[in-house]
Structure 1
Amino acid sequence: MKKLNLGISELQAGEIALGCMRMDQLTHKQASNVVHTALEEGINLFDHADIYGKGKSEEVFAGAVDLKSSLRDQMILQTKCGIRDGFFDFSKEHILHSVEESLKRLRTDDIDILLLHRPDALMEPEEVAEAFTQLKKSGKVRYFGVSNQNPAQIELLKKHVQDDLIINQLQLSLMHTPMIDAGFNVNMQNDPSIVRDSNLLEYSRLNDMTIQAWSPFQHGMIEGVFVGNEDFPNVNAKLQELAEKKGVTDSAIAIAWILRHPARIQPVVGSMNPQRLQDIAQASHIQLTREEWYELYRSAGNDLP
């Protein structure tokens, strides 16, 4: 699998990451099979969050692999914090507590990347900076980033946080493209022209932040998978056409569409099926032409101006 640098760090990750949200549904043996399949395919970034399975996903992951062994050196461990029951919390106290609990569940001494999960309207950036500094000095977290944040929110953090923010995790799929749509419809009076995220795509490229695309097979706001969904005949016909042409699955083509973008976006796939994971990993070896990329974009129901 091709590699990419995460932000301006020296961390080199496979250009596809594995999201572990559903790992709580697996046995330790099943989870071990998924993790080792991922590593064999070159997927070395494992994305967690303190809320996934109410912490059980991290526990199952740790039960599946020995993070005290040499296997840990092959992995980039990432987790997220900030979502609580009915509210968001970027307080210093919660960030520090969340990391401690994740370390216990993962049975490891350090996390490579910590992301702030959803924007907290009551965030005090000075507190976040204190938490990050303490975590960095203690060796418990190496790098930091955010998830679902706009440029102004990131800039507010950067005013106080000493470390570079290397990642922003954002929803993106062939059927969920608001960060791309507005770029085609500059100065037009139509719905796609509305800038919904303060130009996050361009901001991320200008500031060398890696975008991680979550829910790369979902449509709407996590309303369901569009690949193979009969409600979306046009996009699935085009996916199938290109899959047959290139000798891969339709899911691999959906991921290859994201990888084709020059922003070097890293899709986070959540499959817990080893065979499907192998199929998806083939996207790294597929190069869509410019024409094919636009054909897929139009087949998803998007009009070019």
Structure 2
Amino acid sequence: MTAPAGTCGGRLLYGCMGLGGSWDTEPYGASDIAAAEAAVEAALDSGVTTFDHADIYRHGKAEAVFGEVLDRTAGLRERIVVQTKCGIRLADAERPGIYDLRAASIVRRVEESLARLRTDVIDVLLLHRPDPLADPDDIAEALTSLHRQGLVRQFGVSNMGAAQVAPLQARLDVPLVANQLEMSLRRRDWLEAGVLVNTPEAATVGFPFGTLEFCRENGIVLQAWGSLAQGRFTGRQETPDEHATAQLITSLADKKGTTPETILLWWLQRHPARIAPVIGSARPERIRACRDAALREVDLTHEEWYALWLTARGAPLP
């Protein structure tokens, strides 16, 4: 089964972590396949054509049910971009969870993902977490081999800073195309790191300063996981700042003729660092609530963008 030329493009990605049933090794069933079909249909209806996986999601069942959907839907594989990740080994009864980016492990996990996804090529492969024991030369050898064999078209990373990305890129003949990080109006350390330079508060921000700038200068798309802030601004609010932010989001959504979910995603997309949000809900109605972020131009002014940031921040800028 073939697919179009690889790309991590798309203003919005659908994250498939919620597909496949329970987070255990119990087999998935017909209802899980039906739920996956409904989620994929809602994403496609909303203009989303990039689907983000990881080999660990639902212990592999997320990839497997997606493979069932691909197998049942003629022509679907040719219309979409399939992205997955490897590098995390889940804990089991005998072993703790670890990170593993050894070359042999990468190759084996890719082969397993290809089988579950029922495809002959992965469009984009991300290294899920940095492995402290990993050898960049070893990783590069594995990625180069996968690329030459036609098993993976493009590569990226996830949860890595610029200082971890640069040595790997230096060893590859193909460009790294994506870095997937947790980014949202609630998780703002990626933004705060840049404005708190030369202030006492800088020490409270753990995000590696310079990562956004490095990715932007090197054409690496920033993919934002957790982009809807786990529903904190569109469902439950736990603090006064969250409540005030939710009210502002609702007001802006009414003003723009869109949904609160879209306002949250537009806030990320408005940043010049090429941020592509990943939406992870398995509920079709919530997926469709994000469609304007894929199909409409971002409609937030400079002042509106800052108003959202400062309200969520709950404090003035330094």
TM-score, L = length of structure 2: 0.87
Selected match of 2:304 from 292, 295, 299: 292
1:14 deviates by 2.6
- The correspondence of residues 1-305 of structure 1 with structure 2, limited to 5 A, is 11=7, 13-25=9-21, 27-66=32-71, 69-85=74-90, 86-191=97-202, 194=205, 196-218=207-229, 225-231=232-238, 232-284=242-294, 285=296, 286-301=298-313, 302-305=315-318
- Residue 185 of structure 1 contacts residue 193 of structure 1 at CA under 8 Å; is this kept in 2? no
1:68 deviates by 8.4
- Structure-2 change in CA distance of 1:110 and 1:68 (3 Å): farther
Instruction: Report the Cα distance in structure 2 between the residues aligned to 1:287 and 1:225, rounded to whole angstroms.
Output: 22
- Structure-2 change in CA distance of 1:68 and 1:103 (3 Å): farther
1:179 deviates by 1.3
Cα shift readout 1:231-274 (whole Å, capped 9, x = no counterpart): 12111111111111112221111111111111221000001122
Instruction: Report the Cα distance in structure 2 between the residues aligned to 1:188 and 1:254, rounded to whole angstroms.
Output: 28
- Structure-2 change in CA distance of 1:54 and 1:270 (3 Å): same
TM-score, L = length of structure 1: 0.90
Cα shift readout 1:104-158 (whole Å, capped 9, x = no counterpart): 0001100000000000000111111111111111111000000011111111112
The unaligned stretches of length 5 or more in structure 1 are: 1-8
- Residue 256 of structure 2 contacts residue 299 of structure 2 at CA under 8 Å; is this kept in 1? no
34-43 or 61-70: which moved more?
A: 61-70
- Residue 113 of structure 1 contacts residue 142 of structure 1 at CA under 8 Å; is this kept in 2? yes
267-276 or 108-117: which moved more?
A: 267-276
The unaligned stretches of length 5 or more in structure 2 are: 22-30, 91-96
Letter in 2 for 1:273: R
Letter in 2 for 1:87: I
1:228 deviates by 2.3
- Residue 110 of structure 1 contacts residue 140 of structure 1 at CA under 8 Å; is this kept in 2? yes
1:182 deviates by 2.4
Cα shift readout 1:18-63 (whole Å, capped 9, x = no counterpart): 0000101262122112112212221011000000000000011111
Instruction: Report the Cα distance in structure 1 between the residues aligned to 2:89 and 2:233, rounded to whole angstroms.
Output: 29
Secondary structure, counterpart of 2:289 in structure 1: helix
Instruction: Report the Cα distance in structure 2 between the residues aligned to 1:67 and 1:151, rounded to whole angstroms.
Output: 41
- Residue 239 of structure 1 contacts residue 296 of structure 1 at CA under 8 Å; is this kept in 2? yes
Secondary structure, counterpart of 1:283 in structure 2: helix
Instruction: Report the Cα distance in structure 2 between the residues aligned to 1:154 and 1:76, rounded to whole angstroms.
Output: 23
- Identity, in percent, stands at 42
CA RMSD of aligned residues (A): 1.9
- Structure-2 change in CA distance of 1:78 and 1:67 (3 Å): farther
- Number of aligned residue pairs: 293
194-203 or 175-184: which moved more?
A: 194-203
Secondary structure, counterpart of 1:262 in structure 2: coil
Instruction: Report the Cα distance in structure 2 between the residues aligned to 1:256 and 1:192, rounded to whole angstroms.
Output: 29
Letter in 2 for 1:304: L
- Residue 67 of structure 1 contacts residue 108 of structure 1 at CA under 8 Å; is this kept in 2? no
Instruction: Report the Cα distance in structure 2 between the residues aligned to 1:19 and 1:277, rounded to whole angstroms.
Output: 10
Runs (4+) off by over 3 Å: 191-195
Secondary structure, counterpart of 2:9 in structure 1: strand
